[in-house]
Chain A
């Protein structure tokens, strides 16, 4: 093994931070839904990609600035999240069954994407995609930086909201013990709608960032499931900041493995970390 140059190592670690930001942003809504609503929402990945495709369409076909879609899509997806929660609660879907139901929804979303945009590759070409600057000899691409900044912003905003607002406290109480929380006047049904809507809205934000950074193809949906699950479990279910931290740890670890050893070692990293976590800190993941 030959040691890489400092510049190569630093650039790769930076790249790890950026991909970690994407992991964290996707994992944020998934982890909140899993931890607080007790729903393993696989459709979260479908919503990320649906948002990415709509963002692509709005920018490429209708000429809307991709960043403007960040203002348009979250409210729309919030409503979708509320509708999905209504559907799940209407039929009293258990946590395990939510995995199956939302898997079905994901497959339906994938089919919808294929129907509308075909299975071919789509790339959102925008001026932002070309933007980059250098800091101390390191190249910083703007779309990836934006993703990381949004991941940090939402992680801490949601952490603060959960900790310091009545709504956040009520959500935590609901997750802790629903019946007791209800006895204190907390409207579980309303809160679950709001939370589900917020999680799907977060998926839409991740989708816009995804479209800015990656070329789109419908079947990519499932290639992100494994690593983001690891991120959510490492970060802690229901945690706002945890997935971001775990995402960055995994992203940087993968990048370092790619530089020091071989890129083919990268996929082993996330699950090795998860297994270590389960071995040494059982119950935390």
Chain B
């Protein structure tokens, strides 16, 4: 029975994916399907939200060219939550009660997603969302994460990293864990400490800073003084760059440095970002781009992002998670031939969905599935996946200083 369901799911996705590559649409009937969401179009998260907006626009445009959802044109309503979870909550209420949208699409970032989840739960709406960082907080049974970090990333992600490093020519023996106290980052860093301890790495330094820290000079000096083989940096946004810049001013280059959620563009292009490690679900190279849907998306995204003046015009984690969210919604609607929230949710829970980041499932803790996080590294000014080998860029392997 399970295999039958899987075949149906795969067929639905195949139909959708082929559609993504296909030509102009057949005739569209009836009123448009209205999908509502918010994004942080202004405020501190806006740089990343613009990636989600562009991805959504590309997907919806293409979807409409292919005939929309069940023959109805899709209208995507995006409101600006100003990077504020409380505004996101109000706007999702509006989308459901005033705009009366047919379906919801999640916002970006953990705080806003949690707010949207509360509203979705109140109105029994399915919520597929992009990058939610704390799986233990997602209790609603009709939420579906497009970012496949698994139900226990605090353990699984560090293990993936240490597996990668154990296979390196000179595995690290000592580690410094330095971390921001930003919520979705901090628990991952604490998890890394535990995993490192269990795997026999000697911790030579542990430091925490408040999100928004301005002076990384003393932190860099302490890391340099501790002489670790590996620096695990629990950073988000620009923090990693600021720390590396401060290290550079001390003439110090750590042998290995891992960054949890760095700003992808600045880290890849900064000279001190060389060989930086991080996590990913998608990068612009084979084998990801062997998938024709992914290849087409990458080409379109590159072109549109450059035209929009994005400083980093490549598809990576955020854009891939966003694209995946739309793939999940399309797959569920296509397979169930319905816009009923409960039917869509039941289908997603029971099936596996092939996406550009891999096959997603939602049958484990809090609707999370497998941890598909991989390890990437800055090489030649670009992010390339280096671990696991099955997802590594052609010819790429982990480089050390």
Contact = CB atoms under 8 A, between A and B. Distances in A.
A92 to B, nearest CB: 32
A11 interface: yes
B221 interface: yes
Interface stretch (B105-113, B193-201, B208-216): B208-216
A263 B219 contact: yes
Contacts of A224: 214
A123 B266 contact: yes
B214 A11 contact: no
A215 B242 contact: yes
Contact of B265 (A121, A255, A258): A121
Interface in A10-39: 11-12, 14-16, 18-19
B209 A263 contact: yes
Contacts of A219: 43-44, 46, 83
Interface in B305-330: 309-312
Contacts of B251: 132, 139
A30 to B, nearest CB: 17
Nearest to A118: B309
A8 B215 CA distance: 15
A120 B217 contact: no
A19 B215 contact: yes
B249 A215 contact: no
A24 B228 CA distance: 35
Interface in B213-263: 213-215, 217-219, 221-222, 225, 238, 241-242, 246, 249-251, 263
Contacts of B225: 4-5, 7-8
Given A139-B249, A215-B241, A266 B265 contact: no
A259 B44 CA distance: 29
Instruction: Kindly list the 8 A-B residue pairs having the minimum CB-CB distance in the complex, ordered from nearest.
Output: A15-B217, A258-B218, A263-B209, A119-B46, A12-B218, A219-B44, A119-B47, A19-B215
Interface of B: 42-44, 46-47, 50, 83, 181, 207-210, 212-215, 217-219, 221-222, 225, 238, 241-242, 246, 249-251, 263, 265-266, 270, 309-312
Interface of A: 4-5, 7-8, 11-12, 14-16, 18-19, 111, 114, 118-123, 132, 139, 141, 144, 214-215, 217, 219, 223-224, 227, 251, 254-255, 258-259, 262-264, 266-267
14 contacts: A8-B221, A12-B218, A12-B221, A15-B218, A121-B47, A121-B238, A121-B311, A144-B249, A214-B242, A219-B46, A227-B214, A258-B218, A262-B209, A267-B213
